[in-house]
Amino acid sequence: MTELRRRGGGDQDSAENISDKEADGDDRLAFPDEGDGEMVGDSKAETPDAPPSTDNTPQCLNKALEGLSSRWKNWWIRGILSLTMIIGFFLIIYLGPIMLIIVVMGVQIKCFHEIITIGYRVYHSYELPWFRTLSWYFLICVNYFFYGETVADYFGALVQREEPLQFLVRYHRFISFALYLAGFCMFVLSLVKKHYRLQFYMFAWTHVTLLIVVTQSHLVIQNLFEGMIWFIVPISIVICNDIMAYLFGFFFGRTPLIKLSPKKTWEGFIGGFFATVVLSFFFAYLLSQYQYFVCPVEYDSETNRFAVECEPSNLFMIQEYTLPAVVQNALRWKTVNLYPFQIHSIALSSFASLIGPFGGFFASGFKRAFKIKDFADTIPGHGGIMDRFDCQYLMATFVHVYITSFIRGPNPSKVLQQLLVLQPEQQLGIFNTLRNQLREKGLLPPAVEEAQ
């Protein structure tokens, strides 16, 4: 972690000392002032400094790059570590959906840890009772709720087979609410005089972190079940845009883009946009050819494994498109054969390039508010895990909304999973209703009708 800037910097404004007394005269509001890091309150204490930055770059890299300037040394470190992470990402994809779910869960926990740790370090001197314990407890509660919903939706056959799971699924939301309510009561009981406001501030800190991190990671997994291509392409697009914007900015950047991130330039932003759209278009073409990537991820109760075999939908079948007249005159082509998903990839890459970076700007604003450079120092040259996934979470939400708005139709497999959880008499009632509907429409074959 980079060191928090201390009071007295040459370009900092003097802080105001504000005493905000409650009716009983004891409760003080003590938050870091945005100007210079002082604590607002009668104590005039300074914000506790974060531990000094540590260089966790492997010694072999430091030795190999010791003759380079700091700018080029950072370039090579970022490049080598980025390549390593990309190779690791494709290895995880090869291991299958269950490994991807585990990795998403691990990334979520690490991101939550990094954000909560910042709050704990800033306010460590107060030693707030149960702050970290309750934060992790709420994380467990929220994950139990979301992952329980996923089990109920996608693992109906497994739930039907295991009686304890039937009980947990049936009363899942009540159990989730009871668990959260227990944490809520523990928080109220932990309130301490003189720290009321700060405790409620940290309570809100925890819940906003849960909203940003856990909810978005749940949407990532929801996208994965729609087909691995909806997981791989969006993540790859964000990584591609990050790399391309960095390269264009590094070599051609001259015009600052936004004050929150002084190193971001318009050249990098625009160059990253065009490079991302082109590369994602061809990447979508490559993945659309394989069932492993395009088929919805479904749980096979017979083999107790995830199945990714299906007849690809029209979205992943080659279609012929007539080009606009202007393009026909320029390229001398009248038609072009594409996968429809390639067209959707343009929308995804445009969002990742134009709106996605605002997730990074938001994270930059957060870090500047607490005068830190990175969320952590987990990855040399990159910072913490949250520094790498600040744009991914925004992208996950967009992909989920995009699928539900423009792609997803009725899902027979998901409906069947839900039907399997019902009681036998409920299943029979649905069967009779469906049979009558098909008979009225003339869709029920005579042989089936006689058999009934």
Cβ neighbours, 10 Å, residue 377: 20
* Contact predicate 380/81, CB 8 Å: yes
Provide the pLDDT for residue 369: 85
Q: Tell me what pLDDT residue 419 has.
A: 77
| pLDDT higher than 80, residue 252 | yes
> Which range, 75-79, 400-404, 426-430, 439-443, has the best average confidence (pLDDT)?
400-404
pLDDT (average), residues 190-214: 89
pLDDT at 321 over 50: yes
> Is the model more confident about 237 or about 4?
237
Query: What is the residue-averaged pLDDT of the chain?
Result: 80
pLDDT above 90: residue 287? yes
Check pLDDT > 60 for residue 25: no
Whether 363 and 356 have beta carbons less than 8 Å apart is answered as no
Confidence label for 195 from pLDDT (cuts 50, 70 and 90) = confident
Average pLDDT over residues 373-395: 81
Considering only CA atoms, which of 227, 214, 259, 249 is closest in space to residue 389?
A: 214
Rounded Cα distance between 351 and 90, Å, is 23
Token look-up 């947990």 returns 168
pLDDT at residue 126, as a whole number:
57
Domain boundaries, the chain: 1-53, 96-309+342-412, 422-452
In this predicted model, which residue has the larger pLDDT, 328 or 28? 328
Q: What's the rounded Cα separation, in Å, for the pair 400 and 428?
A: 34
For residue 57, what pLDDT band results from cuts at 50, 70 and 90?
low
Q: Judging by beta carbons within 10 Å of its beta carbon (0-12, 13-18, 19+), is residue 1 exposed, middle or buried?
A: buried
Phi-psi bin for 384: left (phi > 0), alpha (psi -120 to 50), beta? Answer: beta
Say if residues 242 and 391 touch (Cβ distance below 8 Å).
yes
Judged by phi (left if over 0) then psi (alpha if -120 to 50, else beta), residue 416 lies in alpha
pLDDT at residue 410 tops 80: no
Categorize the per-residue pLDDT at 187 as very low, low, confident or very high, splitting at 50, 70 and 90: very high
CA–CA separation, 134 and 35 (whole Å): 31
User: How many H-runs (helices) and E-runs (strands) does the chain carry?
Assistant: 18, 6
310, 296 in Cβ contact below 8 A? yes
pTM: 0.76
pLDDT in tens, 137-181: 999 999 999 988 887 777 766 676 777 778 888 899 999 999 999
Q: Which residues contact 397 (CB under 8 A, 6 or more apart)?
A: 216, 219
Has residue 124 got a pLDDT over 70?
no
Residue carrying the six token digits 């909560």: 116
* Secondary-structure percent of the chain, ordered helix, strand, coil, rounded to 5: 65, 5, 30
Model pLDDT, residue 417: 66
Q: How confident is the model at residue 45 (pLDDT cuts 50, 70, 90)?
A: very low
pLDDT band of residue 21 (cuts 50, 70, 90) is: very low
pLDDT at 294 exceeding the cut of 90: yes
| Mean pLDDT calculated for residue range 428-432 | 89
pLDDT tops 80 at residue 68: no
In sequence order, the 6+-apart residues with CB closer than 8 A to the CB of 380 are 55, 56, 57, 58, 61, 77, 81
| pLDDT mean over 285-314 | 85
Proportion of the chain above pLDDT 70, given as a percent = 78
Bigger pLDDT: 180 vs 439:
180
Main-chain dihedrals φ then ψ at residue 381, nearest 5 degrees: 80, -10
Please report the pLDDT score of residue 140 as a whole number: 96
- pLDDT-based confidence at residue 17 (cuts at 50, 70, 90): very low
362 or 304, greater pLDDT: 362
Quote the pLDDT of residue 285. Answer: 96
Q: Give the lowest-confidence range in 20-29, 264-273, 361-370, 441-450.
A: 20-29
Most confident of the ranges 291-300, 337-346, 355-364? 337-346
pLDDT(108) > 90: yes
**Highest mean pLDDT of the ranges 36-40, 72-76, 346-350:** 346-350
pLDDT > 60? residue 11: no
Backbone angles phi, psi at 396, to 5 degrees: -60, -40
pLDDT of residue 411: 63
Task: Say which residue, 16 or 342, is predicted with more confidence.
Answer: 342
Between 412 and 10, where is the model more confident? Answer: 412
